[in-house]
Amino acid sequence: MADITDIKAILYTEKSLDLQEEGVIVVQTTPRMTKNGLKEVFREYFDIKPLKVNSMRVPGKVKRFKGIEGKRPNSKKFYVKLPEDAKIESLAV
């Protein structure tokens, strides 16, 4: 069962801000989140029914810090198309 705690962040990049003008927001989540789970979270917490959800797996990068190799965690990115009249107050930039 998906929960709002599985959402890590709303991404604010140049590309995502351009998409926000078209009604699409970009959400970074844990790898276990599914499309249906994300739709359920949006319905339950924001009272918005997404029109379309696209997902993308993002593998964690391997990085070095002081000669020690480590790996960033894996995540998922979702592109969520919202209805035209839908607004999320906490996302206002």
pLDDT digits (tens, 9 = 90+) for 41-88: 999 988 889 999 999 999 999 999 999 999 999 999 999 999 987 777
Nearest-CA neighbor of 76 among 24, 34, 45?
34
Q: pTM for this one?
A: 0.84
Q: Which domains does the chain have, with CATH numbers?
A: 4-84 (3.30.70.330)
Q: What is the pLDDT of residue 90?
A: 60
Q: What is the pLDDT of residue 91?
A: 58
Q: Is residue 25 pLDDT above 80, yes or no?
A: yes
Confidence label for 18 from pLDDT (cuts 50, 70 and 90): very high
